[in-house]
Amino acid sequence: MKKFIYIVSNHLIMMKYFFRFAPVYFIVNFLFCIYVSFIDMLTGAYSIKYIFNGLSEGKSFKELFTFLGFVSLAMLVRHILGAISAEYLSAMGWVKLTAGMKKLVFEQARKMDLIYYETPKFYTDFVWAASQADEKMGEMYNSWCVFVARLSDLIFFGGFMIANDVVLMLFAAVLILIRLVLNSIIIKLRYKMHVEAKPHERERDYITRVFYLADYAKEIRLSNMHKTLFKRLKDTMSRIWEINNKAGKKITVLWIIVSLSTDGFLDFFIYTYLCFKTLVRKTLKFGELASLTGAVWNFAYRAVDFINVLTDMGEQSLYVDNFREFLAYRPKIECQSGIAAPDEPTIISMKNVSFKYEGADKYSLKNINLDIKPYEKVAIVGYNGAGKSTLVKLIMRLYDVTEGEISMNGKDIREYDTKSYRGVFGSVFQDYKVFAGTVAENVEMNFVNDNRRTDIVNALNQSGFEDKLARLKRGIDTPLTREFSDEGINLSGGEEQKIAIARIFAKKCSCVILDEPSSALDPISEYKLNQIMMTMSEHKTVIFISHRLSTTCMADRIIMLENGEIIEQGTHNELMSMKGKYADMFNKQAEKYHMA
């Protein structure tokens, strides 16, 4: 009983969301399900009894005609309500429900701390629940409607049977008990199968994405990577097959037992009992026999449907647990309230900062001590994996430090309101993204107000996008990508980077962070762009990462990282005179340019 209550309570939680997003459809369809059950009993068992007994008892044609007229009117109302519910309210309700659920999920997902995207468990648990929210809601609502309908059926048909023969309810009770026990075992087997298969399904879905995404098209066609992917897909599908095969055999056996025990019980014992009362005991009239036969059949099979829907609801309830956990998540970083961050550039300090990613054995950064002064231009350099990008992500509080402290203006950055603190920074990362929106929306990264259009155009001109913009017929209203518009354009890698860099010029911020945003540009274009950025950011703090050390000459100070530690720092001339790691890296790059 506790389990039943828990399953229903889980469904009620989800139905509250349904009622919240589509209340009219929810109420009308809920009442319609009850009404249909009443009509089924009225037009079935009760009508058979009334007509058969009426004929044998000599009721007048007028009485039978009046009764049949009432039944026909009730059926007409049923069809009208059914058409309204199915063809109009359903379409409108599902649109509202889908929109509401997606917004609910997206708002929650948006608050997820970035560190969760680094762990496979996040995808297995949270993303699994979030990505299937509207789909599962649809399944659960359908189950809920069947639950209400079948429960109404059991009440109406059960009431009819109790009024005519209480013993029939004992047969139904045995039927329900057998079904409950066996179905509870089936639920656990199915859920276990889904849990075991989910990681392999994620790998299958990844391989599927790789084959249809344009990002991978060239590499697949110019290499033999498809062979490796095919092999992985074959192995993955084999593992899924083994899991499904193992569980499927057990579930099949249980369903055979269910079918034999319930259908055999129903067909033999119940009908034998009714025939005995009619032919031997002679306590049932033929009208009652006919009506009870129909009632028993309807009650029994609706009881089976009721148990089946409880099975589905039990299985769906397990997904609700994941969804509730997803909605109950409270981020440690995102949406944190606190004091307002300063508007003007101020000192940023890192004291004994160390950081290790979730589940990692090694520290990505170790014992970092660094002060970045207001208006200072700081370059962070080092080989791949040195910890450069991790360092700037910590400064922007995309992650929290594992050890130590980062402060701004003398206050721990964890004391600041997250949104206010992030507003201090204008940033472009090497893995920037361009969205399927207009040029203006991709620069503003928000809705575009008319009073911002001039600022957006100026930002694009400053980023070097001026010539391309002049050739666009719709200017900053040109859609990017052709995913949703035939008028959309696909930009080159360099042009996309200029769009991303324009975001910095369009944003009012006191600190600029650049994580190799110009890597797709040629060295001359990159040099010119960096000069522009330094000029435009004269009254801002600038922190930039670059593999091309020719640009670091513009920095007031250069920080050299290796294996997550600061090994050298100073001006370009100071580091060159030290003849250390930085000087060696710079000279090697300079030799390549001379050779070219």
- pLDDT value for 177: 74
In this predicted structure, the answer to whether residue 199 has a pLDDT above a threshold of 90 is: no
In this predicted structure, the answer to whether residue 4 has a pLDDT above a threshold of 80 is: no
Pair 428, 501: CB distance under 8 Å: yes
The CA distance from 512 to 515, in Å, is 10
pLDDT in tens, 371-401: 999 999 999 998 888 999 899 999 999 999 9
In terms of Cα–Cα distance, which of 273, 219, 347, 294 is closest to 52? 294
Instruction: Name the β-bridge partners of 349.
Output: 371, 407
Average pLDDT score, the chain: 82
Reported as a pLDDT band with limits 50, 70 and 90, residue 121 is low
Task: Give residue for tokens 């590499």.
Answer: 219
pLDDT in tens, 20-67: 888 888 888 888 888 988 888 888 777 877 787 777 777 788 888 888
pLDDT in tens, 457-468: 998 988 888 889
The CA distance from 544 to 303, in Å, is 68
Q: Distance between terminal CA atoms of the chain?
A: 79
pTM tops 0.75, yes or no:
no
- pLDDT value for 122: 67
Structure tokens given for 408: 């701004």
